[in-house]
Structure 1
Amino acid sequence: MKKWLLYLSLPLTLIACEGGASEAERQQTLETEVMDLHDEAMADMGKIYRLRRNLTSLRDSLQAQSTDTGTISLLTRRIQELEEADEAMMEWMRQYKAPDTLAHQQAMVYLNAEHQKMERVKSLMDSTITNAQETYATYGKK
């Protein structure tokens, strides 16, 4: 019976001593999450470039025909929004620095802030792409 209790208590003791992920593992996990968000956003950059090109071409052809200024104004606004989303991503990439030289607590604060920034950039890109796609679908087929 005593041996049985010993065998049962050994794994429980090992689990209790492990105490979950280490500081380095938590930091690496958070940094990976930030970079995964970045990678998702980067995958959408091609959509931004294509939509900007398509909307610019459509706007230019409508301007040449001297047609509806409201539509031209909307297309110009959507192009500007795409440019702003692109610039938000570029700005994040320019300012991001891997927290290799920071102490753990400082690195976690920095990475949490960068995670929030990247979520905002990704959200901006997603909404901008959706609006541009809807606008192009509406006016690009006329």
Structure 2
Amino acid sequence: MKKLLILLALPVTILYSCKPGSSEAEQKTELENHVMAVHDSAMAEMDQIFKLRRNLNALHDTLAAQQTDSATLQLLQQNINALNNADEHMMGWMRNYSAPDSLQHQQAMEYLQQELQKIERVKTTMDSTIQAARQTYQQHEPTN
């Protein structure tokens, strides 16, 4: 479903940014705002990544102390690593992104389209990683 939304978002964004009557500056601003909206949506999920990573680390340590089977510990570690990677993908995108203020209109639009695709991939990765980690935690969480 999310992939479908991404595939639909790109043409809609292009059509929307090229609507008649829009100045080049307005088109660029609209596309840049869309990129930043996807970024902001992904950033809102960073707290979930931190909490899940903390919970999975604690669960991993508890189960390791109880000498739980290695397959479960390995699964927990894989989820922790995936959360770390999702976090790093977001941080990497933010380090590499720069507003295309000095670019000509066409170059700026192409750059923003590429950045939109990148940040949408980051968000998709974050969403699937969070979902998998949450499911793993729920399957193995301690019952009190």
TM range (shorter): 0.7 to 0.9
Displacement of 1:20 after TM fit?
1.9
Alignment correspondent of 2:37: 36
User: Residue deviations 1:100-133, cap 9 Å, x none?
Assistant: 1110000000000000000000000000000000
Displacement of 1:22 after TM fit?
1.0
Displacement of 1:67 after TM fit?
1.1
Alignment correspondent of 1:80: 81
Residues in 2 aligned to 1:124 and 1:116: alpha-carbon distance in whole angstroms: 12
Root-mean-square deviation over aligned CA pairs: 0.8
TM-score, normalising length: structure 2: 0.84
Give the letter aligned to residue 57 of structure 2.
T
User: Residue deviations 1:37-56, cap 9 Å, x none?
Assistant: 00001000000000000000
- Does 2:126 match 1:125? yes
- Does 2:88 match 1:69? no
Mean alpha-carbon deviation: is it higher for 72-81 or for 58-67?
58-67
Alignment correspondent of 2:91: 90
SS in 1 for 2:130: helix
Residues in 1 aligned to 2:115 and 2:57: alpha-carbon distance in whole angstroms: 32
Identical aligned pairs, as a percentage? 55
Displacement of 1:141 after TM fit?
3.4
TM-score, normalising length: structure 1: 0.85
Residues in 2 aligned to 1:99 and 1:27: alpha-carbon distance in whole angstroms: 9
Residues in 1 aligned to 2:82 and 2:47: alpha-carbon distance in whole angstroms: 15
Residues in 1 aligned to 2:94 and 2:30: alpha-carbon distance in whole angstroms: 19
- Structure 1 ranges of 4+ moved more than 4 A: none
Alignment correspondent of 2:141: 140
Residues in 2 aligned to 1:45 and 1:68: alpha-carbon distance in whole angstroms: 30
Report how many aligned residue pairs link the two structures.
124
Residues in 2 aligned to 1:63 and 1:125: alpha-carbon distance in whole angstroms: 27
Q: Which has the larger radius of gyration?
A: 1
Give the letter aligned to residue 129 of structure 1.
I
SS in 1 for 2:67: coil
Residues in 1 aligned to 2:138 and 2:65: alpha-carbon distance in whole angstroms: 20
Unmatched 5+ stretches in structure 1: 1-18
